[in-house]
């Protein structure tokens, strides 16, 4: 009986080590939502650890030909687990997945909508932010229940 337990524990440890060292399937550059001067960058989707755009934040750039001046960007983010809150404050270095309390869509010159999804791979409830939206708190049962991110026109 003890031998089976040790073998099972070793197998679980091996699988855990592989999962922890695996690189994200899609590397999306992220950075804090504010620059050193404290002003928000344009053309980003920002996720915040606390309500009211407070605490640590991280930004994702949609690379749909809108404004890629801040970085490479991405088309969609099917799983927020590999990404962490980058800015200083409460929640810094925490995983973004299931920890975002609010968000902002700083796209002002294009009709880019941000879609925040309850489940990975764009499933379940969705909360849509129109350009310029910055709600105090995520609605549609997505407060601290965010798993994926996509954009649409």
What's the 3-state SS for 19-30? HHHCCCCCCCCE
Q: Over 70: is that where the pLDDT of 134 sits?
A: yes
Alpha helices in the chain (DSSP H): 2-21
Confidence category of residue 4, pLDDT binned at 50, 70, 90: very low
Task: Single out the residue of 42, 33, 16 nearest to residue 92, CA to CA.
Answer: 33
The neighbouring-strand residues paired with 85 are none
State both tokens at 30: 């992220």
At the fourth CATH level, the homologous superfamily of domain 26-152 is Crystallins (2.60.20.10)
pTM score > 0.95 for this model? no
- How is the chain split into domains, by residue range? 26-152
Instruction: Return the minimum-mean-pLDDT range out of 9-18, 75-84, 100-109, 136-145.
Output: 9-18
Question: Averaged over 122-146, what is the pLDDT?
Answer: 93
Per-residue pLDDT tens over the stretch 29-42: 455 676 554 555 56
Per-residue pLDDT tens over the stretch 23-81: 333 444 455 676 554 555 567 888 999 998 899 988 887 765 433 344 445 678 899 99
């Amino acid at each position: 009986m003890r031998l089976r337990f040790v073998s099972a524990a070793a197998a679980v440890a091996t699988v855990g080590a592989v999962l922890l060292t695996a690189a994200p399937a899609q590397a999306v550059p992220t950075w804090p939502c504010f620059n050193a001067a404290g002003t928000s960058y344009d053309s980003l989707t920002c996720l915040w650890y606390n309500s009211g755009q407070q605490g640590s934040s991280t930004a994702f750039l949609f690379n749909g030909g809108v404004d890629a001046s801040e970085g490479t960007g991405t088309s969609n983010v099917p799983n927020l687990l590999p990404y962490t809150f980058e800015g200083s404050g409460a929640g810094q270095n925490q995983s973004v997945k299931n920890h975002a309390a609010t968000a902002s869509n700083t796209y002002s010159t294009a009709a880019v909508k941000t879609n925040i999804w309850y489940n990975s791979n764009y499933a379940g409830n969705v909360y849509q932010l129109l350009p310029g939206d910055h709600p105090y708190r995520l609605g549609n049962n997505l407060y601290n229940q965010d798993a994926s991110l996509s954009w649409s026109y």
